[in-house]
């Protein structure tokens, strides 16, 4: 992981350039919007932010201008980079169906930063994505967090292992196979978590015995990649991301998380408004289903006001693009935020769900999500209100590098 991060930083430094971005309105997401303001960028980081009268632009520095400037947008959950833009098997890496539980599957081994959908999202101002193995299995694999730039994993990925993805409900069931019911799916998961507890405990005993130079009767257990991955969940190093739409499945996920004392992030949560009080009391964040997802199957009771309802209840919330099987194969969180803003959220609240609130939920707010000095220079530039359908993204900057000037 250290090598990967080092390579990423080196690549960013090599491509970054000193810039100044002037905006008629600059939404820093760290206070009130600034009018006629400048964001000064140096060595891939934000150097200064403030009114144009207060921020001196060094001579020779390239200046970009836009009507509206925001932090780079964050897609809190997608499968882009594993799921490709074609409808062919060779570019569909998001779900391995051979087994019900496979937490050892690493997203970085399948992620393709050159996938056209990555560029597609970037063109609308999405600079960071939380992506990886998709819903559809009891545990489908790991997720990662990446910037939408770079030609290699080392250049793109900023968090190699972000969460372990799980599914509760109909999508985890197999017709004519196992698990065939909800109770079986949860039982299989609980059994694997118990095995992981035992595995971790035995390895800890062995480590203590080695320090005390004592012999342990059984020796260390053979390495088990599956149990190691679950061990990281049990130690709270990484969260368990559970996709659940029905209220009863949401409560089941919460019950399992409490039983094993793990960090839980709810995903989808179409009926979360029915159990909002329980979610709030448990302090569990929610990555809400795409606002414009089709209301069918387990999502039949979704509401376009879910994000507003949960946010009003004091629950940490972020928006996502999710998975779209139809061309162009992914939604765009910018449009999801626009719809959410038309259904109970203010402009600032909707924008926060795809910037700073998403960054906090993903644990990366020290780097991205707002325009403040010291953070990564990730910016999105628009020719009007970003949540207005007739506006266009006219520029994108990631780590101080201009990655798009196409009008989209």
**Judgement on whether residues 207 and 322 belong to the same structural domain of the protein:** yes
**Judgement on whether residues 212 and 260 belong to the same structural domain of the protein:** yes
Per-residue model confidence as pLDDT tens digits over 249-300: 999 999 999 999 999 999 999 999 999 999 999 999 999 999 889 999 999 9
**What is the separation of C-alpha 45 from the centre of its chain, rounded to a whole number of angstroms?**
21
Token duo for residue 130: 């939380």
Q: Point out the least confidently predicted range of 108-112, 141-145, 205-209.
A: 205-209
- Find out whether 79 and 269 touch, Cβ atoms under 8 Å: no
User: Pick from 124, 20, 137, 128: which is nearest to 78 by CA?
Assistant: 128
Per-residue model confidence as pLDDT tens digits over 199-230: 999 988 888 877 776 655 566 778 999 999 99
The confidence band for 159, taking pLDDT boundaries of 50, 70 and 90, is very high
- Domain count for the chain, please give it: 2
Cα distance between the two ends of the chain: 35
The confidence band for 13, taking pLDDT boundaries of 50, 70 and 90, is very low
Token duo for residue 124: 């609308």
Token duo for residue 350: 């909707």
What average pLDDT does the segment 151-168 reach? 98
- pLDDT at residue 6 above 90? no
**Judgement on whether residues 250 and 307 belong to the same structural domain of the protein:** yes
DSSP 56: P
Token duo for residue 398: 């990631």
**Judgement on whether residues 300 and 397 belong to the same structural domain of the protein:** no
Q: Taking the CA atoms of the chain, what radius of gyration do you get in angstroms? A: 22
Token duo for residue 175: 């017709």
Instruction: Indicate which CATH number applies to the domain containing 25.
Output: 2.30.40.10
**Judgement on whether residues 252 and 335 belong to the same structural domain of the protein:** yes
Cis previous bond, 328, omega within 30: yes
- Average pLDDT in the chain: 93
**Judgement on whether residues 330 and 398 belong to the same structural domain of the protein:** no
Question: d(Cα 300, Cα 298) in Å, to the nearest integer?
Answer: 6
Q: Angle 360-355-362 (CA atoms, 0-180°, nearest 5)?
A: 30
**Judgement on whether residues 364 and 375 belong to the same structural domain of the protein:** no
The confidence band for 368, taking pLDDT boundaries of 50, 70 and 90, is very high
Residue 391 three-state SS: coil
What is Dmax (Cα atoms) for the chain?
73
pLDDT for res 87: 78
**Judgement on whether residues 54 and 169 belong to the same structural domain of the protein:** no
**Judgement on whether residues 141 and 288 belong to the same structural domain of the protein:** yes
**Judgement on whether residues 117 and 230 belong to the same structural domain of the protein:** yes
Q: Which domain holds residue 359?
A: 73-368
Rounded to the nearest 10°, the torsion over CA 17, 22, 26, 28 is: 30
Per-residue model confidence as pLDDT tens digits over 382-407: 999 999 999 999 999 999 999 999 99
- pLDDT at residue 365 above 90? yes
**What is the separation of C-alpha 367 from the centre of its chain, rounded to a whole number of angstroms?**
14
Instruction: Indicate which CATH number applies to the domain containing 117.
Output: 3.20.20.140
Give every CB contact of residue 390 below 8 A, 6+ residues apart in sequence. 384
Phi, psi of 379 (to 5 degrees): -135, 150
**Judgement on whether residues 60 and 208 belong to the same structural domain of the protein:** no
Question: d(Cα 365, Cα 359) in Å, to the nearest integer?
Answer: 5
**Judgement on whether residues 277 and 160 belong to the same structural domain of the protein:** yes
Strands ordered across the beta sheet of 401-404? 45-51, 34-42, 19-26, 62-71, 379-382, 393-398, 401-404
């Amino acid at each position: 992981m250290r090598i990967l991060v080092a390579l990423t930083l080196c690549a960013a430094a090599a491509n970054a350039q000193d810039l100044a971005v002037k905006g008629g309105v600059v939404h820093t997401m760290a206070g009130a919007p600034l009018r006629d303001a400048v964001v000064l960028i140096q060595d891939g980081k934000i150097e200064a932010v403030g009114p144009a009268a207060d921020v001196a632009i060094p001579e020779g520095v390239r200046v970009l201008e836009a009507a509206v400037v925001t932090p780079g947008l964050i897609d809190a959950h997608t499968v882009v980079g594993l799921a490709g833009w074609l409808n062919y098997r060779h570019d569909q890496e998001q779900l391995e169906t051979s087994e019900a539980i496979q937490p050892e599957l690493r997203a970085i081994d399948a992620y393709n930063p050159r996938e056209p959908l990555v560029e597609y999202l970037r063109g609308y101002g999405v600079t960071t994505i939380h992506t990886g193995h998709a819903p559809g299995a009891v545990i489908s694999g790991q997720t990662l967090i990446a910037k939408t730039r770079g030609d290699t994993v080392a250049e793109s990925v900023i968090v190699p292992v972000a969460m372990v993805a799980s599914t509760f409900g109909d999508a985890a069931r197999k017709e004519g196979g196992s698990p065939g019911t909800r109770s079986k799916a949860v039982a299989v998961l609980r059994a694997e978590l118990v095995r992981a507890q035992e595995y971790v405990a035995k390895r800890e005993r062995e480590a203590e015995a080695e320090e005390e130079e004592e012999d342990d009767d059984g020796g260390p257990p053979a390495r088990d990649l599956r149990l190691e991955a679950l061990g990281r969940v049990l130690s709270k190093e990484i969260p368990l991301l559970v996709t659940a739409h029905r209220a009863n499945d949401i409560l089941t996920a919460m019950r399992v998380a409490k039983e094993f004392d793990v960090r839980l992030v709810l995903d989808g949560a179409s009926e979360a408004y029915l159990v909002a009080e329980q979610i709030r009391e448990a302090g569990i964040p929610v990555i809400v289903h795409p606002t414009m997802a089709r209301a069918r199957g387990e999502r039949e009771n979704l509401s376009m006001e879910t994000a507003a309802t949960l946010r009003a209840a004091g629950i940490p919330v972020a928006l996502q693009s999710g998975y779209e099987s139809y061309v162009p194969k992914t939604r765009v969180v910018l449009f999801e935020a626009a719809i959410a803003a038309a259904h109970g959220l203010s402009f600032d609240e909707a924008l926060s769900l795809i910037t700073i609130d998403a960054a906090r939920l993903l644990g990366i707010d020290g780097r991205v999500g707002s325009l403040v000095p010291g953070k990564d220079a990730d910016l999105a530039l628009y020719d009007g209100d970003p949540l207005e359908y007739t506006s266009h993204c006219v520029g994108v900057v990631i780590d101080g590098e201009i990655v798009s000037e196409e009008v989209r």
